[in-house]
Amino acid sequence: MCLGVPGKVLSLSSDGLSALVDFFGVKRELRLDIVDEPVKPGDYVLNHVGFAIRRIPPSEVEETLALFDQILKEAGSEDLMAEDVRGEIASGKERDRA
């Protein structure tokens, strides 16, 4: 539950309080209330329970994505890490309901 999931910022809301973020092909709205630094489209952020908790420095994006990529790609039906990652992705708001 504390694993979080990284995603790429696609756009910011007009009030700047939320962002549309792509998580391995799934697009969700994230709140930006507690992110540590300002974010802009193209940045990667770490999502935990629907909130961006950290902007991932560009030099560290690739290494961060590798683990999650691997977990989601090779996960069986009952893989706990994949289950937690999918739960974190589902924590964002679906755009049409945003």
Partner 1 sequence: MPSPAEELKFRDPDKARALTEALEREVEAIGRSPVAVMHVCGSHEQAIARFGLRASFPRKLDVIMGPGCPVCVTDTPEVDEAVALAAQGARVCTYGDMLRLPGTSKSLADAQADGGKVEVVYSVSQAVDLARQRPAEQVVFFASGFETTAVATAATLLAGVPENFSVLSSHKYVPAAMDVVSEMKETNIEGFIAAGHAATITGWGIFEPFARRTGTPVVVAGFEPLDVLAAVVELVRLIRLKRPEVMNCYPRCVTKEGNRAALAKLWQVFDVVGGNWRGIARVPRGNLELKPEWDRVNARHRFRIDTAAVGGAEKNLLADQCICGSIMSGLAKPDQCKLFGKECRPESPVGACMVSSEGACKIWHVYGGHPDLKEVA
Residue from 22, 36, 40, 58 that binds partner 1 (CB under 8 A)? 36
Told to check if 78 binds partner 1 by CB under 8 A, we report yes
Quote the DSSP letter at residue 4: -
Told to check if 88 binds partner 1 by CB under 8 A, we report yes
Told to check if 15 binds partner 1 by CB under 8 A, we report no
Residues in the chain: 98
The one-letter code for the residue type at 45 is: V
Give the span between the Cα atoms of 20 and 35, in whole angstroms. Answer: 14
The H-assigned helical ranges of the chain are: 61-74, 80-90
* Binding region for partner 1 (CB under 8 A): 1-4, 17, 31, 33-36, 46, 48-51, 53-54, 56-57, 60, 63-64, 66-67, 70, 74, 78-81, 83-84, 87-88, 90-93, 97
